[in-house]
């Protein structure tokens, strides 16, 4: 039986790849994003396009209602919508910090609440939360982004044990470096916030380091394959990681003390 899949953040990057590739597998795929015009290419392939803003309750509720009315169920939710709000803690307004959490955490959480009744009804479901290796480590100038991903990881762990009894799996995907527009947008945010004050020298070095790393990023298909494992394995792992430096960074975070990890991380920001 075909899975009915909702992918948020499907207008670009990994989200668009998820929608395109999962459609090729024979699934019924809904791609959701604010920028509907950016999804014309996947719409022509057969992806069902929804306008959705994950900070707007009515928009999310309408999207889920549309899918259930047409398909009768939702089998897989891929919470991919998100962005990186970068800048020194001192420089980022609380309003901007709040918006980062609204998109990356509360939007995902609300969609989970909206789909769970239908998954419970059918005693089946997969909730796939796209986190990051940045949900396990925190680098300077990305405090609010990391806070959002740490929160998403914790939310996933708690939720996993709540909904297992209903036949629902919760899986976290932790990408490392992946070729996408994400890094450029995040570094633009950083320069806007912290390029003129006391953190400017660090901000410039950090932006240069991230730009160099982005050039070495993995193909998004690496993460697509992890999502496929999460969907098609009967007993998926609770977490999958992949992409540039993912394995090494997660291993170092596991074995090094906080201060040793800080030294290694800061040595890369030259």
What is the pLDDT at residue 123? 97
If pLDDT is split at 50, 70 and 90, which confidence band does 213 have? confident
CATH number for domain 4-267, candidates 1.10.645.10, 3.40.50.720, 3.90.650.10, 3.40.50.300: 3.40.50.720
Catalytic positions: 11, 131, 145, 149
Q: What is the pLDDT of residues 34-82, one digit of tens each?
A: 999 999 999 999 999 999 999 999 999 999 999 999 999 999 999 999 9
CA distances from 96 to 39, 86, 91, 109, 130 (A): 27, 10, 10, 19, 21
Q: Which of 79-83, 194-198, 213-217 has the lowest mean pLDDT?
A: 213-217
Q: What are the pLDDT digits (tens) for 218-259?
A: 899 999 999 999 999 999 999 999 999 999 999 999 999 999
CB neighbour class for 249 (10 Å; exposed up to 12, middle 13-18, buried from 19): buried
Q: What is the pLDDT of residues 101-139, one digit of tens each?
A: 999 999 999 999 999 999 999 999 999 999 999 999 999
Share of the chain above pLDDT 90, in %: 85
Confidence band (pLDDT; 50, 70, 90) for 209?
confident
Answer whether residue 1 shows pLDDT above 80. Answer: no
Residue 261 has pLDDT above 90, yes or no: yes
Instruction: Give the CA dihedral 23, 131, 239, 263, nearest 10 degrees.
Output: 140
Q: What is the pLDDT of residue 184?
A: 77
* Spatial CA neighbour of 141 closest among 76, 74, 208: 208
Residue 85: closest CA among 136, 34, 129, 142: 142
Residue range 179-200: mean pLDDT, rounded: 84
Q: Does residue 270 surpass a pLDDT of 90? A: no
What's the pLDDT at 110?
Answer: 98
Q: Are 209 and 266 in contact (CB under 8 A)?
A: no
Please check the confidence at residue 164 and state whether its pLDDT lies above 80.
yes
Q: What is the pLDDT of residue 31?
A: 98
């Amino acid at each position: 039986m075909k899975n009915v899949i909702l992918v948020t953040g499907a207008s670009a990057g990994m989200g668009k790849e998820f929608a395109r590739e999962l459609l090729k597998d024979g699934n019924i795929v809904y791609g959701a994003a604010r920028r509907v015009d950016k999804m014309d290419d996947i719409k022509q392939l057969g992806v069902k396009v929804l306008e959705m803003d994950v900070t707007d309750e009515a928009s999310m509720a309408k999207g889920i209602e549309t899918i259930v009315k047409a398909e009768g169920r939702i089998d897989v939710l891929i919470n991919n919508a998100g962005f990186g709000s970068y800048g020194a803690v001192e420089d980022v307004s609380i309003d901007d910090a709040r918006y980062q959490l609204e998109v990356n955490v509360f939007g995902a959480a609300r969609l989970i609440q909206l789909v769970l009744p239908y998954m419970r009804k059918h005693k089946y479901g997969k909730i796939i939360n796209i986190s990051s290796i940045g949900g396990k480590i925190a680098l300077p100038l990305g405090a609010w982004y990391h806070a959002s991903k740490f929160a998403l990881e914790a939310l996933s762990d708690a939720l996993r044990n709540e909904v297992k009894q209903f036949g629902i799996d919760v899986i976290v995907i932790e990408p490392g470096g992946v070729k996408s527009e994400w890094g450029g947008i995040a570094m633009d945010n950083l320069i806007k916030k912290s390029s003129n004050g006391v953190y400017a020298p660090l901000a410039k070095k950090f932006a240069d380091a991230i730009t160099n790393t982005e050039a070495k990023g993995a193909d998004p298909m690496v993460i697509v394959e992890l999502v496929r494992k999460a969907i098609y394995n009967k007993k998926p792992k609770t977490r999958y990681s992949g992409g540039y430096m993912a394995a090494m960074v997660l291993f170092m975070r596991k074995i090094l003390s906080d201060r040793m990890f800080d030294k290694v991380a800061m040595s890369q920001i030259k």
